[in-house]
Amino acid sequence: RHICQVHATKASFNHILETSMSTIRKPRLNRSFFKRVSTTTMATPNGKPQRDRKAKSIKRSGKNAGPNSDENAVRNEAFPGILPIIGGKFSDLPISELLKKALVDMNLTDMTEIQKQCIPHLLQGRDVMASAKTGSGKTLAFLIPVVDLMLNVGMQNRNGTGAIIISPTRELSLQTYSVLKELTAHTQLRIGLIMGGSNRQAEAKNLQKGVTILVATPGRLLDHLTNTEDFLRHNLKTLVIDEADRLLDIGFELEMQQIIRLLPKNRQSLLFSATLNHRTHNLAKSALKTNCIMIGVNEGPEATVETLEQGYVICNPATKFSLLYTFLKRNKSKKVMVFMSSCMEVKFYYELLNFIDLPVQAIHGRQKQAKRTSTFLNFIKATSSILLCTDVGARGLDIPEVDWIVQYDPPDDPKDYIHRVGRTARAGKSGNALLILRPHELGLLDVLRESRVKMIEFEVAKNKMADVQSALEKLIESNYFLATSAQEAFKGIVRAYNSSKLRCLDVNQLDLAALAKTCGLQIVPRVDLGVEPSRKLDPKRMKRKMFAESKIGAAKRTKLYQKLD
């Protein structure tokens, strides 16, 4: 009897939208609320805007020359000053013909603004710190000069590693490696990838054989630098730090300082970031020369690209899943990324949507690396697919032809919002982004507006939205495994909300009963809001901290649940 009930409930989902026409009407711009913000310039460590300064020409000779001063002399002779780029095409660059052939094979002809400004300086061997909007082409801006330098100096496997590119996440490292593989297709350069979750022993063997250009995540790179014998890096010519702000946000500041100390000092260093702040400037002081070139192409009234149409919708907290389900059902023929706040939430909705015959994929931090990699590659190749993910998929990934970015949960920071929507409308293409908000979360719009994010309001046609709430609750009640997953998802959402840095996202304003309904739960689960103690504390301080946090957690729980008790 229970099995029949489950199948009957499952069938109801498949026919519930037969009469639905459209969920979201044409966007309506709220001009009285969203005003154009003045252009902001790149910030300095003290928070003051930096004035435009003409960069001084840097010539490497004598003591300042790299490990092979000949190639620096050749470069300075070819580029006596700042390289004039006529037309802004890759064919205008004085780079290797093998590299130009690879660019033609990749159907790349015109350079983006960040590429126009960075590549000439990098070809001259200068240190560069660059900031640009997400999706502006930063990856090619540093890969082209790196590959060209390795070809010019004639790096061989026996010479060890000549260039290291550090990326914050495994997915971004994998993507950078794939682009690098295309650029070096017509060359004999040996390239490599090392990252957490991969076979360390196999990586060590490759490093001992010699890898000319190495793409790495910080933790695994530091591991090999300290523990792998015959990892030759004394001939290192270039160090690239990609997505520096994300590296620091994740918590790799200590690892980066250790890596920089272990690498040769006489090298070219590049730092790329979507945003610059005092922390990225401090990292730049350690990694780059004092006379480095600073490039910022974040100019403009908006923090996101002009081809991105982004808006928000205010929905009833109890019908939030119905809105998401209807939207995905109507857009299942497109390429959609849905961002959620916790791993368990992604896991639950992945299981639920696939169970009711709405195929989706999922990426989150609790998956094994092999699963994350295969899912990521499958989504890249797909022409239409739905990917549920946490912010592990929000930074730097160049996924082609993404039509919609849906933020089911609000971002923890304006930077996170910018990087989430940056997965679409890349390289001049158009894209759409939707932010789903509860009524008490409208303060987030003010925060985003201050960060130069221009948004419009989408109006929901409520009579066209599928009413799946009762069917959802019956399904969860009759399926033990989905019910268990739903409870864990609920707890993950509350904990993620509780850890938010934004004041406008107050966990005490959450309607827990409505939140439970979005997970198909009729009874609100209890959530422990205590905080885990830091490992760096000594035992006595740890006990005091645990006691204090237990009191704080108890107070929060009392306030949060008092309207339910």
Cβ atoms 312, 433 nearer than 8 A: no
Query: How many residues are listed for the chain in this entry?
Result: 565
Round to whole Å and give the CA distance between 540 and 2: 53
Q: Look up tokens 């439970």; give the residue.
A: 516
Pick from 167, 152, 276, 272: nearest CA to 216:
167
Tell me if the pTM is above 0.75.
no
Q: How far is C-alpha 373 from the geometric centre of its chain's CA atoms?
A: 15
In this structure, what is the dihedral angle of CA atoms 559, 561, 562, 565, given to the nearest 10 degrees? -160
Q: Is 383:316 a contact under the CB 8 Å cutoff? A: no
Q: CB within 8 A of 132, min separation 6: which ones?
A: 113, 114, 138, 272, 274, 295, 296, 297, 298
- The single-letter DSSP state of residue 472 is H
Q: CA–CA separation, 432 vs 256, rounded Å? A: 35
How confident is the prediction along the chain (565 residues), in pLDDT tens digits per residue? Answer: 455 455 555 555 555 544 443 444 444 433 332 333 333 333 444 444 444 333 333 333 333 333 444 444 434 333 334 444 445 889 889 899 999 999 999 999 999 888 999 999 999 999 999 987 766 788 999 999 999 999 999 988 889 999 999 998 888 898 899 999 999 999 999 999 999 888 999 999 999 999 999 999 999 999 999 999 999 999 999 999 998 988 888 889 999 999 999 999 999 999 998 778 888 889 999 999 888 899 886 555 455 556 678 889 999 999 999 999 999 999 989 999 999 999 999 999 999 999 999 999 999 888 887 888 888 889 988 989 999 999 875 555 667 778 899 999 998 888 788 878 877 756 556 788 899 999 999 999 888 888 778 888 888 777 778 889 999 999 999 999 999 999 999 999 999 999 888 888 888 889 999 999 999 999 999 988 754 433 444 554 555 555 555 555 555 555 566 555 4
Q: Give dist(CA 233, CA 252) in Å, integer.
A: 21
